[in-house]
Structure 1
C-alpha cells in the first residue's frame, strides 16, 4: 500500500471524500491534510502525559513563561515547551513584526473587536469539528461571554511593545493558550470521547483553520467594513501571525505560502470543503457568541443592548455576507443600509490617515492605550487551569 493509499484510508469520514478532495486541490495538499487531521502537538501534550497533576504543572509553567526561560526548578516537559516557543523567535524580522503590530493598531479597536468577534468566532464555530468538541468537553453556551473575553485578552496581549519576547505578556498568554489546548485534548482522551469522524481533537488542521480566524477572516471582513489594507500591510500582519502561530504550535509548512488574503483563497476553499455542515451545536454557540458580544459591548459603551444587537447583526452581515448570515441565523438589521452607505467614507478617511505620518502615529498611540485599558488584568481561566476542579 502506498503512502497516499494509507492516508486515504485514514481520511476522517466527516471530512468528505478523499478522492474528490484530491481532484480539486491536489495530491500533495490532500496527503498533508490527511496527516494534519490526526496530528496534535506532542511538545505541549507532554505537559499532561506524565505523572504530574495539572495543579503541579500549571504553576511551574506560569513561572517559567514569566521568566522566559527554564530555571533549576522547571520541570523538563515545561522547559521543552518554553524552548520550542522561543525557537519561533529565532531570526525574527523585528522591524517587520513591529510593522504588523502597528498595522493592527492603525485600525480602531472596536472595529477589530467586530472582525474578531462576530467575524472570526462565527467562522470558528461554523464547523461541527470545533463546535462539537466545545460541547463535548463542557464548553457550553453559558461560557460564551467569558470565552469571547479570553480571546480578546490573548490577542490584545500580542499587540503591546515587546510583548512576544521571552517573558513578555504575549509570550505568557500564548504559552498558556497552547497549554489549554493540550489540556482540552487530555480531558477529551481521558473521558473517552469519540472524535474519530473528524480526526484528532484540536489537531494541526484545526489549529491551522483557527489561525485563519486571526488573518484571512478578520482582514477580509475589515475590507468590507471600509478598512482595506495594502498588500504589504496585509503581509506584515500575516507575518506577525506566522510567528504567533509557530509559538502556539502550528507547523510552519502548513502556513507556508499563506501571506495575504489573495494567496490564502485556495487554502480557505480547501478548508471549507472539509468543514461539514453546521449543526445544532454550531448554532447554539453562534447565538451565544452574538449575545456575548452585545453584553461586552454594552459594558464598554453603555449603549442599550437592543441597539447594539442591531448594530452587531449589521456588521456581521457586512463581514460574512447575507448567504452565510442567513445560514447562521443572524438577524436582519435596520442599520445595515446606513452603515453600508458609509463604508466608502470610512475607507477614504483611513486612506488619508495612512498618508499623514504624524496623524497615523497619534492614532496608533491612542489605540495602543485603549488596548492597555481593555486588557483584562483579572487572569482568564486559561491562566488558572490548576485552580479549577480537576477535569477527568
Structure 2
C-alpha cells in the first residue's frame, strides 16, 4: 500500500535533514517525505462516509463488530477495502500472542503505569509543534486534556488485554476507530486552511509513527526512571505486539518492522526528534494542561496516593527524570522537590520487580492480577459520546470542534474511570 510520492515536497517543519541523513541514512528522507503522507484506506472511508451519511456509519460499525462477511456481497468499496486489510492478519503475527495480550504492560503494577505511562506518552507527543498546533486549535486545553486522558485510557486498556485485538473485540474496534478519527481530523483540518507547505499533512505517517513510539518506548522510559525495567525478552514481546497495533492503525511498515527492542526504538525516536523543531508555546500549554488533568484525576480517585499538589510535583519529577533537563526545559516542566527521591523509589521498585518476575509462575500471576484489576466501565459514556462517535460519521463544521474531541494520544484507565464514577 503506497502512502506517498517519492518526489514529495518536504514541508518547512522538517529541520536538520542533512544531519539526519548523515546519522540515519535513507530512513531520514523516508521520514521527511512521510510527513506529507496520510492513510489512503482510512481517508477513502471518510470520503465515502460523507457521501453515504448515517447509513454508511451503520455499515462501517457493523463491519468492525461482526466482520466484512456480515455486510453481504456488495458493501461500499472503501469500507470493504479497509475491513479487508484490518481482517488480514499478517504472517508475522503469532495469534497466541494476541490471546495473551500485551504481557510487558500487564507485568507492570497498575498504579505505577497510571502515574508514569499516560503522562509521558502524551507529553512527548505534544513536544512536536505540528501535533501541538493541531490539538491546541480549540483553546479549551483543560477540557480537552481531561477527555484525552479518559479516551486514551479506554483505548489502551481495551487494546492490550488478552484477546483485545482479535477481530471484533473491543481493542480491535477501538484501534480502528482511532485510525478513522485521525482520518476525519486530517480531512477537516485540510478543509479549514491547514498549511501543508509549513506543517505537512495533519497527523501524517511520521506523526503516527511518533505516536506509536509514545506508547511503546516513551512509557517504559518513564517506568525505567522508577526502577521498572523490561528484560530483553519482554522488550521483544512488547514490540511484536505493538507492531500489530501499528498495522491496524495504518502506519507505514518501514517505521516499525525493524523496531524490535528499546535500542532500535530509540534510534527511530532520535530520527523523529532531531527532524522536529523545538517545542513551542502550544507544546508547553498542552503539557501543563495534561499534568494538571492527570494530577487532578488521580487525586480525585478513591484512596488517592497523595494530594493533588504533591501528585503534580511527582509527575514533574518523573517527566524531568524521563526526558532529561533539555527537553523538560523546552516543555516548561519545572524541577521538582520529588526528583532527589526518585533514585530511592527506583531501587525499591527494582527489588520488588525482581521478586515479582522471579519465576514464570510468579510473573504469570502478576499479569493475571493486573488484567483483572478494575478498568474502564464500558457502560459509561462521555458527554456527547467519544471523539469517534462525535466526529466520524459526518463532516465537522469547524476544526475547533474536532480538535477539542481530538484523537486519543495514541495506560490503563482505571484511575480516570473511578474518578468519573465518583
Relative to the length of structure 2, the TM-score reads 0.84
In structure 2, do the counterparts of structure 1 residues 367 and 139 end up closer, same or farther at CA, with 3 Å as the change threshold? Answer: same
* CA displacement, residues 76-129 of structure 1 (integer Å, 9 cap, x when unaligned): 322221111122455521334456622211101222223332211110001101
For 1:10-21, what aligned pairs fall within 5 Å after superposition?
10-21=9-20
* CA displacement, residues 205-233 of structure 1 (integer Å, 9 cap, x when unaligned): 11111110011111122112111111111
CA distance in 1, matches of 2:391, 2:120: 31
Residue 24 of structure 1: aligned partner: 23
Residue 337 of structure 1: aligned partner: 340
Query: Where has structure 1 moved over 6 Å in runs of 4 or more?
Result: none
Matching of residue 36 in structure 1 with residue 14 in structure 2: no
How far apart are 1:274 and its partner, in Å?
Answer: 1.2
Residue 353 of structure 1: aligned partner: 356
Match of residue 331, structure 2, among 320, 328, 332: 328
Match of residue 46, structure 1, among 40, 44, 48: 44
For 1:253-264, what aligned pairs fall within 5 Å after superposition?
253-264=254-265
RMSD value over aligned CA atoms? Answer: 2.5
In structure 2, do the counterparts of structure 1 residues 298 and 58 end up closer, same or farther at CA, with 3 Å as the change threshold? Answer: farther
Number of residue pairs the alignment of both structures matches: 386
In structure 2, do the counterparts of structure 1 residues 331 and 251 end up closer, same or farther at CA, with 3 Å as the change threshold? Answer: same
Residue 200 of structure 1: aligned partner: 201
Residue 159 of structure 1: aligned partner: 160
CA distance in 2, matches of 1:387, 1:14: 28
**Structure 2 residue ranges without an equivalent (≥5):** 1-5, 398-422
How far apart are 1:299 and its partner, in Å?
Answer: 2.9
Residue 3 of structure 1: aligned partner: none
CA distance in 1, matches of 2:203, 2:89: 20
CA distance in 2, matches of 1:259, 1:377: 36
Residue 308 of structure 1: aligned partner: 311
Residue 94 of structure 1: aligned partner: 95
Match of residue 384, structure 1, among 382, 386, 389: 389
The answer (yes or no) to whether the contact 1:38–1:199 under 8 Å persists in 2 is: yes
* CA displacement, residues 9-63 of structure 1 (integer Å, 9 cap, x when unaligned): 712122114434322322x113312331111001000112245255444333222
In structure 2, do the counterparts of structure 1 residues 89 and 161 end up closer, same or farther at CA, with 3 Å as the change threshold? Answer: farther
Deviating more after overlay: 376-385 vs 358-367:
376-385
Deviating more after overlay: 362-371 vs 41-50:
362-371
CA distance in 1, matches of 2:379, 2:157: 9
* CA displacement, residues 266-305 of structure 1 (integer Å, 9 cap, x when unaligned): 2221111111111111111111111111122123244331
**Structure 1 residue ranges without an equivalent (≥5):** 1-5
Greater helix fraction, Structure 1 or Structure 2: 1
How far apart are 1:371 and its partner, in Å?
Answer: 5.0
* CA displacement, residues 312-344 of structure 1 (integer Å, 9 cap, x when unaligned): 222222322233223222233323322321211
CA distance in 1, matches of 2:262, 2:156: 20
In structure 2, do the counterparts of structure 1 residues 384 and 227 end up closer, same or farther at CA, with 3 Å as the change threshold? Answer: same
The answer (yes or no) to whether the contact 1:36–1:203 under 8 Å persists in 2 is: yes
